[in-house]
Amino acid sequence: MIPVEFRGVRAVGPEGFRCVVLRWEQRNRILPLWVSPLAAEALAEDSEPRRPSTADVLAEVVRVAGATEIGITSAFEGVFVATIVLDDGAEIDARPSDALLVARALELPFGVAEDVLTQFSFFAADDSLREYLNLSFGPTPDSVSLASRDAQADADFELMMRQLGVSEEDLSGGSDATGDDNGERDL
C-alpha cells in the first residue's frame, strides 16, 4: 500500500456532502472519500470525549493486538473497502472511515492500494483545490513541472465536479453569459 495524507473533511456542493480528502503526495493527486455526516464529524473533531467512542474502543483493541497495515485495499461498484491487518495475520474488514479513525487514533500510517489510487485519484490544480475544497498544497518538486494548465487534469476535475452535481453556476451565483440573472441572452 502507498501511504496517503489525511487533509481534512470538506463539505462539497450545494448539498454539503462530506468528503475526506486524502493526498497521494508523490503524485500530487487527491483521493476523495465520501463519508456520512457522523463519520465526518468524528474525523474532523480533535477534542477528547469524556468516554471512549466505538472507534476509540476498536483502536484500543487494534493497539493491543498490534497492527501491521491499515488502509483501503480495494473498491467494488464505487465502494471502497478497507482492511486492518493485525500482527498475527488476521484481517479485519472495515469501512474506510472507521479504518482511518483507527489509524489516526493510533498515529499509524494509512495507505491505499496502488491500483485503487491509480483508478480513483486525480490531479487538481492548486487554484481548483482552493476554489472547490478550500485547500492548498502549494507546489511540490514533482508538480512544479506540471503546469496548472494541464488540460487533461482540468478536464478530469471538471468531470468529477459535474458528476457530483456541482456546476460553475452553483459557484458563480448563477449568472448567465450577459451577466444578469434573468435567463435571457443578448444577441
What pLDDT score does 162 carry? 79
Q: Are residues 115 and 25 in contact, defined by beta-carbon separation less than 8 angstroms? A: no
What pLDDT score does 140 carry? 52
Q: Are residues 132 and 88 in contact, defined by beta-carbon separation less than 8 angstroms? A: no
- Report the number of distinct structural domains present in the chain: 1
Q: Has residue 187 been placed in a domain?
A: no
pTM reported for the whole predicted model: 0.68
**Mean pLDDT of residues grouped by 10 in the chain (187 residues)?**
92 87 90 90 75 85 91 93 94 94 92 95 83 71 51 79 76 53 48
64-89 burial code (b ≥16 CB/10 A, e <16):
eeebebbbbbebeeeebbbbbbbeee
118-127, pLDDT tens digit by residue? Answer: 999 988 887 8
Q: Has residue 176 been placed in a domain?
A: no
Nearest to 124 by CA among 94, 148, 99, 90: 148
Q: Has residue 155 been placed in a domain?
A: yes
What pLDDT score does 6 carry? 93
The CATH number of residue 104's host domain is 3.10.690.10
Q: Has residue 6 been placed in a domain?
A: yes
Q: Has residue 160 been placed in a domain?
A: yes
- Quick check: helix, strand or coil at residue 79? strand
Q: Has residue 105 been placed in a domain?
A: yes
Q: Are residues 45 and 137 in contact, defined by beta-carbon separation less than 8 angstroms? A: no
44-71, pLDDT tens digit by residue? Answer: 876 566 788 888 888 999 999 999 999 9
What pLDDT score does 85 carry? 95
Quote the domain boundaries for residue 20: 2-45+64-168
Quote the cell numbers at residue 20: 475526506
What pLDDT score does 186 carry? 47
Q: Has residue 23 been placed in a domain?
A: yes
Rg (CA), the chain: 19
Q: Has residue 134 been placed in a domain?
A: yes
